Amino acid sequence: MNSQPQVALTNLLGEYQSALEVGIGRRPSVARNLSFRDVSVHAIDIVQRSVPAHVRFHVDDIVAASRQSSFPHWYHVEVIYALNLPAELQRPVCEVAQKVGADVRFTTLGFESPAIATRPKSLDSGETVYIPIANEQY
């Protein structure tokens, strides 16, 4: 069953044709929902995770990736997103996205504010998605 925030996030991200979820963890519902909308979805985490059949999973570390100058194919997407993204990973996600030319969308842990300059977007579900401000030096 999908919660209202999951549906709202799927609607927002469903405008893209390709996406990468960073830190998919044990809740792959948004990635699954996007794949049902014919979005090409990849997901990464630092440990092996189970994901729905149409989501392609890769063990990868976004912090290590942010230090690279070339990237595996799964980073070459239209949007890189993360749900409940901790402050210490926000900068690396944005650095990678900037290098590959992807948009970034993320939610934070409930008690944290973004650690980088962002523009908040409130969804009908009450969820707040953060959009990094373009041309920010990460």
> Domain coordinates of the chain in residue numbers?
4-132
Q: What is the pLDDT of residue 62?
A: 98
- Between 3-7, 86-90, 115-119, the lowest mean confidence (pLDDT) is in 3-7
3-state secondary structure of 75: helix
Instruction: Work out the number of other CB atoms within 10 angstroms of the CB of residue 65.
Output: 20
Helices (H), 42-114: 62-65, 87-100
pLDDT band at residue 8 using 50, 70 and 90 as cut-offs = very high
CATH architecture of the domain 4-132 equals 3-Layer(aba) Sandwich (3.40)
- Write the pLDDT tens digit of every residue in 39-57: 999 999 999 999 999 999 9
Residue 50 one-letter amino acid? S
Residues paired with 41 in a beta bridge: 19, 55
Tell me what percent of the residues of the chain surpass a pLDDT of 70.
96
